[in-house]
Structure 1
């Protein structure tokens, strides 16, 4: 019995040693996997930074050229293509980084007021052109009672819909792609339906895995298999759900449901969606600090055109010297610079007592993409942030100006829809619709029925494609809720064409009745 006990004890000790060796190997494998995952994330962040720096110059200068009134119309279309392509590349970079952020739990959602109709119109306009270029139909279905303003993360919603619509158009060779939108009880529901090859039942769960594609997908169609993975992750992070139903050979239907509360008409609905041409009040001084020459000159050119006094610095020490000399009102500061980082520069400025300077970080380092926290004595030494705002590269001019305007309470001056300073737009007689259409538009304006105005303008555009200029400018006024300008333009046109004839007064009364 003693010999058997010793034998069993020896066997147990050998098994314990084997488990210890296995555990050690598992621990090493875990450490290697974590190191590889960290290296992957660092690589993605690094390559993203390298891509964003030149992409920022392309994106920024294309926006400036698009705003230039001297640019010929056919060149504006070409510049617009460059700008949209830069946006697409930026979106691809964001998608790659989002996977790492979600896995590490560092993804942030920015809930803000979003003009729902404008967001949908931009997406529909972009993908309708893509569908037409491929020879398939694109339909957009939405009720008239969609809320004009909602609370959500616009960037994430845009990313979800772009991924779904891109896939639908990419894999559909003939037929139709349809986007449907509904909103009720503070829940938004988006449906993307196509007549593509469909998805086999065995692939319905697998298609949401990274780098996976359905077996029915055309192998010649480009793609990495990350779009649906990112879409599912973003939907779940936002507290929503995504489902898919599909019939092989018939098509697929993706449905996304998200919490999206409606907002009362506020700054998001009243803010003009027009180019900024300057600002009112005393002139402000801006110090632009960036080690990249192209990006430094881009921001300086933009702000100089708007009336700011601009100084430029190439690195941190130069920035500190110029800041002490000129005491700028606004400091635009890159983060990654040789010698001294932008965050260190900001901390030193706060420590020197420059609390009145508004510091905005403008960087391709998306790890710093977070709102400014309350700071203690402006130093950031206790964990608070020494900066007031953040704008990611490639820089969106509207977002940059919105950030500056919000932090400094700047009263912007906007271009009017027709490019003049004031007064209603002028139309030639050949650019005007029949008088009964104008009379109906006047009536809808008097009662403030925005949906009715939009529907009437759509009717005019369908019946008279040659009236593109008239319809476009009226749509801009309606979308900006500039009903005073809308009514002034229509009444001026109607009065000019009526020759003050009393019969036209009768016509208006009949039409409005």
Structure 2
């Protein structure tokens, strides 16, 4: 078809579409991220992505599972967590960096369908406000300890301070992450090094803490840690801005993708181990330490006091907590607002503005904080882990098995309305079964003896069911169409998404080739967002018959 729209076929954009266009072009919310916008180097993208894992929740998680299950079981649980997260995160991170789309867009074409992936968006949005609340609680503890701010007020402050930082998207977030990371590293690493050097006996105390090894207990510990599996989606919100992969930058590209993608878990696991180590030290050395050992601000304060004046120790502990929590909660708030907005836009075909759902996400997190979720953290995270694992592992399984091995799922990702079926049973059913059965196991519905094994149930079903259902359905529910009606190639000579530019005849903006399809009723092209907000399906291409 011709890709040059005539003036007769370019109606004025509706006000809602114009507003949506302006806002989504800030950082390509809900869209493919074009190469014209992706001006950051691989290193800047990687540092920005890793800056988002500065959170102290890992310290609290490591401390909680260590106190509950003992050092040996906790360390094995952390090890299991790291292996699962890396293996499942690698194919997702590669697809995001290679094709410049977020995890929701990947999920649509990896077994869920255009509307089927809405449920995974809700799972991810839940992840962001649960962990926003957890991180905000830690920040409020720091403000209470250092400045005497009441917890209820600290919760509100830690929520409201994030809102203005997230308004402007990736440009502001990347600057914030790059400039705060060096100070954060120094403040976090210094007390741990001091403790190991000056109190070498603390290492043996740490290793001897708690009961002996038990496989079921290890899996319970791993289940809590695995609640972080959806963190890969937040890493991907940065990785989608990777520059095109070329023969010249191939090594740097792979290094950045591996470190900032699945490699985040290496740093996360180390922080959990350090959090457990500090907790054991506080319990052993501080009067009444058991009551505060799982609170990161107290962990660092007690270590700082060993080699710094009291006023400086308190100042540094509070500064560390505030920097860490701001770094991660801008990412939680940003990613959560994208997830809610994406789901709402698809279901209602109306774009309300990302800031509306930024406020919604922060409000839910604030309610959780005021409800003192910190006191029942293990239960919340253990339950959530089953949903998160079911989603992430299903998508990873579809990419590895159905795309590359069985060739039943299209190799290149597809996310545009009209190109996908509404729901694909391969991923949708697989995730529902994996999550449902594992949650039943987690709450003892299939007997107390297998309750610790709910993480294995979730992972096993999510890994096996997608290829089984793809074979049963013969892969026919992946693509509603195989041709998007445009005669320009989608990828360049290196396999990167094409930088060729087309004009959307609805919103009158220029977009790169992967974001566009032909319009059904006009001899023109239309962008993915205008397709999503098309209430009467005037621009949506008809289905094609598959043999």
Which category of TM-score, normalised to the shorter sequence, fits these structures? under 0.3
Please, what TM-score do these two structures have when normalized by structure 2?
0.23
More helix by share: 2
Structure having the higher Rg:
1
More strand by share: 1
Query: Higher RCO, 1 or 2 (CA under 8 Å, sep at least 6)?
Result: 2
